[in-house]
Structure 1
Amino acid sequence: MGKNLTSRAEDYSKWYNELVIKADLAENSGVRGCMVIKPYGYAIWEKMQAALDKMFKDTGHQNAYFPIFIPKSYLSKEASHVEGFAKECAVVTHYRLKSNEDGTGIVVDDDARLEEELIVRPTSETIIWDTFRRWIQSYRDLPLLINQWANVVRWEMRTRLFLRTAEFLWQEGHTAHATEEEAMQEAEQMMHIYAEFAENHMAVPVIKGTKTESERFAGALETFCIEALMQDGKALQAGTSHFLGQNFAKAFDVKFATKEGKQDYVWATSWGVSTRLMGALIMTHSDDNGLVLPPKLAPIQVVIVPIYKGLEQLDAISEKVNPLVKELQAEGISVKYDDRDTHKPGFKFNEYELKGVPVRLAIGQRDLDNGTFEVARRDTLEKETVKAGAVLDKIKLLLEEMQKNIYAKALNHRETHITKVDSYDDFKKVLEEKGGFIAAHWDGTAATESKIQEETKATIRCIPLNVENEEGKCMVTDNPSPYRVLFAKAY
C-alpha cells in the first residue's frame, strides 16, 4: 500500500487533504460543502466525545437535546446574535414536495409555504433560552447546567474536511446562574476543561486567553478561548467559552425569584468544541508517512501483524498471539490482530503507519523460535526486538511514553514559534518568513486591529490569561499599550 502523500514541505494544504482521505477519516459527500465521516475517523471522534462527556458530567452538567429547527423570530430577539449568524443561516421555507406536472420529477409545492421560516440551527442559544424560560422559576432551579451533542449548519462556500464544512458535529453547553460571578466562573471553568482535554488527551499544547471585542462570539460579553499552533505556523481556535451576561435572559424573559423574593434575570454562559478538533489533531502531530495519533485517542492502539508461509505457520503464530490479545484487552488496550490472507505484511505495515496506530507488533517464524516480537512505535518509527514475556509491559510503557513524547514535540514547536516584535515591519517579516504566534503591542482599538488584519491577514488570537503587564507602544500607531497580545494567521 503505497502512501504517496505530498510532503508537508512541498504543499501543507495538499498534504492535509490527501491524508484525511487516504487515512480513511472522511470524504466529501454528494452534498456540496458537507462531509461523510468514515468509521475510522468517527471512532476517533467517539473517543473525544467519551472523554469530554465524562469531564462535563464530573462537573455537574447533564445532556439534553433540542430541535434542529429554530423559528426565525427567535433568532432576531438578540440583535448582535442575529447579526453574527445571519449570513451563514440555512432557511427552511416549505414543508412539502409534489410531482412536476410535466412528469419530469419533483418540485417544491408553492402551496406548502411555512407561516414562519425555520432556521437550521447555526447554534442553539435562542431555542434553548426559549426553553429555559419554562424551566426556571426560582433560585432553587439554579444553576442549570445543560450540554447538547448535536450537528449544526453554517453555510460555507469554501470548505475543507473537518476544518470548515457547512454541517459539522459539536457539543454546546448552555448554563444559567443566579449571579454574574457564578456565570463568569463557569465560563472560565469550561475553558480550563477544554485545555485539560486538549493537552492530556489530544497531546496538543494550547494557550488560554480571552478574545478581543471584535473576535467575541455574537452576543457574548466575554469569550474565553484555547489557541493551538499547527505545524505550518498557523493558529487554530480549539475551543471557546462565552460569558453571555443577561443578554439572552432579557431577550427571552428568563427571570427567577431570588432568595429575597425579588425577580431578577439569570446570568448565562455557552461553550463548545467541534469536529474541528480532528483537524487540530491531524495537523499538530502527523508527518509525511501519515497520521500520528496520541495513544489515548487512537481507535487501535496496538496492531499485530503475522509474517508467515502457509496455514500451519499462521496457526502456530495465532496460538502465540491470541493469549497476548486477551491480556492487552484485559488492560483496556485496544488491539487488532490482522491475520488477513488477502494482503501482504508490507501492505499492512504501510496501512497502519498511514493510519497512525501507535504500536505495531510483527511476529514471524524466527520470532516464534526465539520467543520474541518485533515492536515498532509510530511516533519515532523506531523498532526493537522484545521477549514475549516482557512485551505486555513494554507496550504499556510505550503507550505512556508516546503520549508524553508527542505532546513534548508539539510544545517545543510552539515555544520556538512564539516571537516578540516591536515594529510593524518586523511583524510583517516574521509573519511571512517564520509564522507562528507573534507577541506584539496593540493599542486596544478595533480600527488598528482591523487595519492589521486587512494588510496582513493576521488576527489577534487571544489576550493571554495572566498576561504580563509590559507597557509599550502599539507597533502600528505608537499609542500606549499595557501588554502584548498574540497575533497569528489562522484556520
Structure 2
Amino acid sequence: MAKGLTKRSVDYSQWYNELVAKADLAENSAVRGCMVIKPYGYAIWEKMQQELDRMFKETGHENAYFPLFIPKSFLSKEADHVEGFAKECAVVTHYRLKNDPDGKGVVVDPEAKLEEELIVRPTSETIIWNTYKNWIQSYRDLPIKCNQWANVVRWEMRTRLFLRTAEFLWQEGHTAHATKQEAIEETQTMIQIYADFAQNFMAVPVVQGVKTANERFAGALDTYTIEALMQDGKALQSGTSHFLGQNFAKAFDVKFATKEGNEDYVWASSWGVSTRLMGALIMAHSDDHGLVLPPKLAPIQVAIVPIYRSEEDLAKITEKVDVVVANLKKRGISVKFDDSDNRKPGWKFAQYELKGVPVRLAVGMRDLENGTVEVARRDTLTKEVVNMDGVDEYVADLLEQIQETIYQKALDFRAEKTTPVETFEEFKSVLEEKGGFILAHWDGTSETEQKIKEETKATIRCIPLEGDKTSGVCVYSGKPSEQRVLFAKAY
C-alpha cells in the first residue's frame, strides 16, 4: 500500500483526495474552489483531449473559440436556460482598479462600472447562437459543427478536485442543422462517441440513456448521458449530449431559407465532457497502492529502472536499455528510462506504482548476464522475468492485455453492483446495504421522482437506451410503468 494513503475501505473520500495530491495530479489553488492541474495530471488530460479531438474531427467537427464573457442580456433570452444557471454565475461589474486613497493596495474604481454586466461563461449556447445568427442565412450554410476547448465557471460552494470545481476545463460542441432529424442524429452520434471513448480509452463501462425532465440540461428538449459507476457504489455523470430543438434559434432569431424557399428556425445540439473525466478515471480503477491508469491514457506507459552499484555498471545497463527504449518507441509506446541518481530503485518502484504507470521494467547486472529483464504490471502487481530480446513485443502485447483487463474488472464490478428491485422497501435496502445501480420501475412523473430523491437521496441517472423494456408497476406509487430506469446516489 502507498505510504500514508488512506485505504478505500476506511474512507473513500479521503483516499481520493490524498491520491490526487500524492500522485501529483492537482492541488487546491489560492482562489477558493479552483484547482491547479499539475503537469502529470495535465498530461493525462492532454491524452484525453487528443483522442476526443481526433474523434470529433473524424465526424466532421471543427474547432473554434468564442468569448469568455457573455452579456447578461443574452442569458435573459432563453428562460429555462437562465433559470438553470442563474445561481452559479460569476458576474463582472467593473473594468478598472485604482490605488486605494488610504494606501491599502487597490480598490475597484466606482467610475468604471460596466453599462451591462458580463457573465463569466458557465456554458456558451447564448454567445454562440448570437454569433450563428450572422453565419446562417440559407440551408447552404448548414450544418455548422463547431467544437470549443475552453474553461468555464460555475460558482460551486462545495468543491472537490476534478469532480466539482468553480472553474474547470472542458469541450463544448455546438451544432446547427436544417432539420429536426439531423439535430437528433447529431445528439445521438455524440453520446455514442463519448461512450466509445469512455470504454475503449478510459476502460470505464458506461450506461447510455436519456435524462428525465427534472435532470435534463437547462434549455434542452432531450439530454442524453453516459453514467459510470465508481468503486464506492456512486454514479458519475461522465458526458452529456443535448437536443436543443429550436429553443436557442428562436431566442436569438436564427432563421434560414429552406430548399423549398420557405423560412424556418435552425435546429440545434450541444454536447460536452470536462475534467470530471479525470475523477472518473481515478475512482473507477485505482487501488490502495495508488493510481491504476489504462495504458491508452497513461503519460508514461513503461518506466525502466536500472539497478546498479557503480557508474561502470550503469553504463553497461544503459547500452542495452537504449536498444529496448528505441524498439519500444518504434511501436509508439511512451517510455521513461529513469537513470537519475538521487533516489534508490525501491523508491522509484513505489513512485511509479503510485502514479499508475502500467508497466515497469527493472534491469540489473544479473539481468544483463542472463539476457533477461523483470517486468512488473501495475494492474495486478505481478512480476515476470522475460528475455530482453523481444521484450518490446512482449510489452506491446502486455499493454493491450492490461487495457482489456482493467475494463473487464470494472465491467464485472458494475454487473455485481447492478440490482433490479420490485418494491420500495427492497429499493431502500439495496441502496443502503449494497449501493451501486438500481434498476426499478418508475411511473414517469416528476412528483414521484422528487419524492424518491427526498427520501433516499437517490436520483434517476437515466432512462437506459438498452435494457429491460418490459412494463411493470412503479416501486413507489404502484402506478403503471413502461420500463425500468437507472437509479443511484451520485456525485
* Deviations 1:329-356 (CA, angstroms, capped at 9, x unpaired): 1111000000010000000000000000
1:305 aligns with 2:305: yes
Residue pair 2:199, 2:205 contacting (<8 A) in 1 also: yes
Once the two structures are TM-superposed, the CA of residue 323 in structure 1 deviates from its matched residue by 1.3
Deviates further, 462-471 or 207-216: 462-471
Partner deviation per Cα, 1:130-166 (whole Å, 9 max, x = no partner): 0000001110011100000000000011100000000
Confirm or deny that 1:98 pairs with 2:101.
no
TM-score relative to the length of structure 2:
0.99
**SS where residue 31 of structure 1 aligns?**
coil
Deviation at 1:3, TM superposition (A): 2.6
Cα distance in 2 between the residues matched to 1:185 and 1:265: 18
* Alpha-carbon distance, 1:262 to partner: 1.0
SS class of match (1:214): coil
Residue 471 of structure 1, CA deviation: 1.6
Question: Offset of 1:25 from its aligned partner?
Answer: 0.3
Question: Which residue identity is paired with 1:353?
Answer: E
Query: Are 1:291 and 2:291 matched, yes or no?
Result: yes
Q: Return the offset for 1:478.
A: 0.8
**In structure 2, what is the Cα distance between the partners aligned to 1:484 and 1:264?**
38
Distance 2:436 2:77 in 1: 39
Give the secondary-structure state (helix, strand or coil) at the position aligned to 1:213.
coil
SS in structure 2 of the partner of residue 163 of structure 1: coil
**Equivalence for 1:205:** 205
Match of 2:406 in 1: 406
> Does structure 1 residue 460 correspond to structure 2 residue 473?
no
Partner of 2:243: 243
Structure 1 counterpart SS, 2:214? helix
Tell me whether 1:280 sits opposite 2:280 in the alignment: yes
Q: Which amino acid aligns with 1:310?
A: S
Secondary structure (helix, strand or coil) at the match of 1:43 reads helix
| Alignment correspondent of 2:58 | 58
Conservation of the 8 A alpha-carbon contact between 2:2 and 2:288: no
CA drift of 1:104 comes to 1.2
Q: Secondary structure at the match of 1:269?
A: strand
Q: Give the corresponding residue for 2:378.
A: 378
Partner of 1:170: 170
Quote how far apart the aligned CAs of 1:77 are: 0.2
Letter in 1 for 2:417: H
Query: SS in structure 2 opposite 1:389?
Result: coil
**SS of structure 2 residue aligned to 1:104:** coil
Which amino acid letter does the alignment assign opposite residue 487 of structure 1? F
Alignment of 1:113 with 2:110, yes or no, is no
Provide the secondary structure at the position in 2 that maps to 1:451: helix
One-letter amino acid of the counterpart of residue 60, structure 2? G
Matching residue of 1:424: 424
Structure 2 counterpart of 1:80: 80
Q: How many Å separate the matches in 2 of 1:298 and 1:209?
A: 29
Partner of 1:316: 316
Q: What letter is aligned with 1:346?
A: G
8 Å contact kept, 1:3–1:354: no
CA distance, structure 2, for counterparts of residue 312 and residue 9 of structure 1? 46
How far apart, CA to CA, are the structure 2 residues paired with 1:157 and 1:2? 31
Matches within 5 A, 1:217-256: 217-256=217-256
CA–CA distance in structure 2, aligned partners of residues 95 and 325 of structure 1: 54
Q: Distance in 2 between matches of 1:2 and 1:78?
A: 50
SS in 1 for 2:19: helix
Trace 1:331-350 onto structure 2 (pairs within 5 A): 331-350=331-350
Question: Residue 258 of structure 1 corresponds to which residue in structure 2?
Answer: 258
* 2: CA distance, partners of 1:55 / 1:448: 39
Give the conservation status (yes or no) of the 8 Å contact 2:99–2:105. Answer: yes
Q: 2:231 is paired with a residue of what secondary structure? A: coil
In the alignment, the residues of structure 2 paired with residue 39 and residue 331 of structure 1 have an alpha-carbon distance, to the nearest angstrom, of: 25
In structure 2, the residue matched to 1:40 is 40
- Whole-Å separation in 2 of the counterparts to 1:425 and 1:2: 40
- Give the conservation status (yes or no) of the 8 Å contact 2:2–2:289: no
Q: In 2 relative to 1, CA 314–235 (structure 1 residues): closer, same or farther, beyond 3 Å?
A: same
- Mapped contact 1:188–1:241 kept (Cα < 8 A): yes
Three-state SS of the structure 2 residue aligned to 1:170 is strand
1:467 CA drift (Å): 4.3
Which aligned runs of 4 or more in structure 1 are off by greater than 4 angstroms?
none
> How far has the Cα of 1:436 moved from its partner?
0.5
* Paired residue type of 1:297: L
1:428 is matched by which residue type in structure 2? K
Alignment-mate amino acid for residue 58 of structure 1: E
Preserved contact between residue 439 and residue 485 of structure 1 (Cα < 8 Å): yes
For 2:347, what is the secondary structure of its paired residue?
helix
Say whether 1:133 aligns with 2:137.
no
Whether the aligned pair in 2 keeps the contact of 1:95 and 1:112 (CA below 8 Å) is yes
Q: Judge which range, 80-89 or 414-423, deviates more.
A: 414-423
* Secondary structure class of the residue paired with 1:470: coil
- Name the amino acid aligned to 2:392: L
* Identity of matched residues, %: 73
- What CA distance in whole angstroms lies between the structure 1 residues aligned with 2:50 and 2:95? 36
Q: TM-score, normalised by structure 1?
A: 0.99
Shift of 1:2: 5.6
Structure 1 residues 360-405: Cα deviation after superposition (integer angstroms, max 9, x where no partner): 0000111011111000000001101011112111100100000000
Letter in 1 for 2:96: R
Mapped contact 1:212–1:463 kept (Cα < 8 A): yes
Match of 1:359 in 2: 359
How many residues are treated as equivalent by the alignment? Answer: 491
**Residue type of the partner of 1:462?**
C
2:91 is paired with a residue whose SS is strand
Unaligned runs of 5+ in 2: none
Which residue matches 2:447?
447
